[in-house]
Amino acid sequence: MKHNNAKKNLLDTKPKKIAALVVMVALVLYLPKSGLLSPYLVRILTMISLYSMLSLSLNLLTGFTGLVSIGHAGFCAVGGYTSALMWQYLGLPWLVTAICGMIMAGVVGLMLAAPTSRLSGSYLTIATLGFGEIVKMIALNWQSFTGGPLGVNHIERPEFFGITLTTFNGGFFYLSIILTALVTLFVYRIVNSKMGRAFMAIRDDSLAATMMGVDVTAYKMKSFVISAAIAGLGGAFYVHFVRFLDPNTFNFDISIIIISIVILGGTGSIPGSFLGAALLISFPEILRFASEYRFIIYGLILVLMMRFKPEGILGGHSHRPFRLMKGVESYGN
Amino acid sequence: MPKPILELKDINTYYGMIHAVKGINMEISKGEIVALIGSNGAGKSTTLNTIAGLLKPKKGQIIYDGKDLSHSSAAEIVKMGICLSPEGREVFPDLSVQDNLKLGAFTRKDRAMIQRDYDKVYSLFPRLYERKVQVAKTLSGGEQQMLAIGRALMSDPKVLLLDEPSLGLSPNLVMLIFDLIKDIKKLGVTILLVEQNAKMALKTADRAYVLETGRITLEGTGKQLLTDDNVRKAYLGNI
């Protein structure tokens, strides 16, 4: 089969892959220092990175395990509040509070998953919607602890080795890139492991998964906990980035943006989460000239997407023909 | 008669209020192919699903290798060596052939043995080897059935339960699948087969049971039932 060799991908060899990676890393490190980007653009890039991380978290749950959550902001809120309140009451550094935020979000994820693990489809989705609202109501009404509607103010910026991270020194941008890279690696490793295959088996056919000896309930719960923990990390990053947190910081809109990114980019596609975040976070900024009308355009794009490519831009399997193995002729001729 | 590897004692299974399986007794010896035939709604699939642990019997015992399975979970039953290849070729449509087979070996840990079983499945179904990177939903019906059976074999079962393996396949593929079932028997796997295609099932099986509205009405060797007048009238088109 000649054409296989002729069409060899440019990035097929390992040294070339490493070189491409080094160039990308150098470019990313150089960008905020180059002066080419205004702080405004650096901020948008940071937000894209953050939302990539959040949508990877939801993609693991929705795209790979087939459980649709529209209360994902609730997990961000748990992570964010844990981190902010630990700073406020205990004065702990960001790294510690962020890890605690992750763990707390994971624990809450388990608390949500345990009673809902037998729900499926839209019933589970409605339960997650309720969960997002419950988190918001607790944050609003537990005034003595969370600050209620006044929220938590002047949250300290993260500090590493005596350097305080800001948008201006590019610190937040670097931190978000590092976190997103770690999360991407983590999600990639899970998806390509035995656990990932169990998730996808549950998504494709939970009865058949049971017949293969997959404990469906246990794996659904694992997916929930991992996804919630990553979302909690995202929340813990965000509140120290904007330095303010109130019950409306992580509202229903945020959940909808995250699920929109997953759907637009492609369910079950890791690169799709990045593409979706880049598109959906930059759209409102690019369309700023259209002022109030931009959300009409935004909505229209989503409607058209659902009509013409419901599996997302990079989602699902394309109609590209499969390459057969060497020496195998296609069957039927 | 040797001691049975799988024995059903007075199994009663309900769907809510509906009494689907009404006191079935069956015995399956090691290494034989046993067919379960009957018309729609006779309780054939219900019987298989009860053995596999997807349904819980309200009354009765399922004795496998001396142990009672009627309270074990489906995952535990797979680990003990009973695997069901479900009706309608329920392969994982978006996963590759290889990943489907990997999932078949989900409960197993011994890598060397798993590798040996990949080779076994691929030598049994060379067509699957040619298509191992393809996603399962792009396979033809016959290939999907091969994948479903191959995936069940990856759990290294002692007893393989096949639910309608010939469903929706063309006649020559039906022949192929039944030939493969005989090959699987030669590997030492005991097979319990549920079929609407009674003629093929009886030709292949060592013994068979006829199920009518949740009760066993006849049992015998495949040959006996093929020539039985009642069976011929009801299931073989009275030829």
ipTM of the complex: 0.79
For the domain covering B4-87+158-235, report its CATH number: 3.40.50.300
Is A197 in contact with B79 (Cβ distance < 8 A)? Answer: no
In degrees rounded to 5, what are phi and psi of residue B156? 55, 55
Q: Which residues in chain B touch residue A202, judged by CB atoms under 8 angstroms apart? A: none
For residue B38, which of B181, B202, B160, B227 has the smallest C-alpha distance?
B202
Residue B31 DSSP code? T
Is A194 in contact with B106 (Cβ distance < 8 A)? Answer: yes
Nearest CA in chain A to B134: A322
What the block records as the tokens of A185 is 């690696």
* Helix count and strand count (H, E) for chain B: 10, 10
Which of B74, B107, B138 faces A322 most closely, judged by CB atoms? Answer: B138
Q: Could you tell me whether strands A159-160 and B215-221 are parallel, antiparallel, or unpaired per DSSP bridges?
A: unpaired
Q: Can you give the length of chain B in residues?
A: 239
pLDDT at A333: 32
Residue B135 DSSP code? B
pLDDT at A20 over 90: no
pLDDT at A291 over 90: no
pLDDT at A188 over 90: yes
Q: Is A218 part of the contact surface with chain B (CB cutoff 8 Å)? A: no
Euclidean distance between CA atoms A311 and A332, whole angstroms? 30
pLDDT at A176: 92
For residue A49, which of A158, A187, A171, A175 has the smallest C-alpha distance?
A175
Is B106 in contact with A208 (Cβ distance < 8 A)? Answer: no
Q: Could you tell me whether strands B18-29 and B4-15 are parallel, antiparallel, or unpaired per DSSP bridges?
A: antiparallel
Look at the block and give the residue holding tokens 């900024």: A285
Contact, A60 vs A219, CB < 8 A? no
Nearest CA in chain B to A203: B92
Which of A278-287, B17-26, B110-119, B229-238 has the least mean pLDDT? Answer: B229-238
In degrees rounded to 5, what are phi and psi of residue A224? -60, -45
Q: Which residues in chain A touch residue B84, judged by CB atoms under 8 angstroms apart? A: 211
Residue numbers of A between 309 and 328 with CB closer than 8 Å to B: 316-317, 322-325, 328
pLDDT classification of A258: cutoffs 50, 70, 90: very high
What are A262-288's pLDDT values in tens digits?
Answer: 988 888 899 999 999 998 888 888 877
pLDDT at A332 over 50: no
pLDDT classification of B32: cutoffs 50, 70, 90: very high
DSSP string, A9-68: -TT-SHHHHHHHHHHHHHHHHHGGGSSSS-HHHHHHHHHHHHHHHHHHHHHIIIIIS---
Cβ-based neighbours of A176, under 8 Å, separated by 6 or more: A46, A49, A50, A53, A237, A241
Is A210 in contact with B75 (Cβ distance < 8 A)? Answer: yes
Q: Give me the mean pLDDT over the A149-153 stretch.
A: 87
What are B47-64's pLDDT values in tens digits?
Answer: 999 999 888 889 888 999
Euclidean distance between CA atoms B51 and B73, whole angstroms? 10
- For residue A108, give the amino acid letter: V
Nearest CA in chain B to A330: B130
What are B93-146's pLDDT values in tens digits?
Answer: 888 999 999 999 998 888 888 999 899 899 888 889 988 888 898 888 888 988
> Domain coordinates of chain B in residue numbers?
4-87+158-235
Which of A210, A212, A317 faces B94 most closely, judged by CB atoms? Answer: A317
Which residues on chain B place their C-beta less than 8 Å from a C-beta of chain A? Answer: 52, 54, 73-75, 78-79, 83-86, 90-95, 99, 102-104, 106-107, 127, 130-135, 138, 140, 151-152, 155
Nearest CA in chain B to A204: B92
Euclidean distance between CA atoms A67 and A124, whole angstroms? 7
Cβ-based neighbours of A114, under 8 Å, separated by 6 or more: A221
Q: What average pLDDT does chain B have?
A: 87
pLDDT at A195: 94
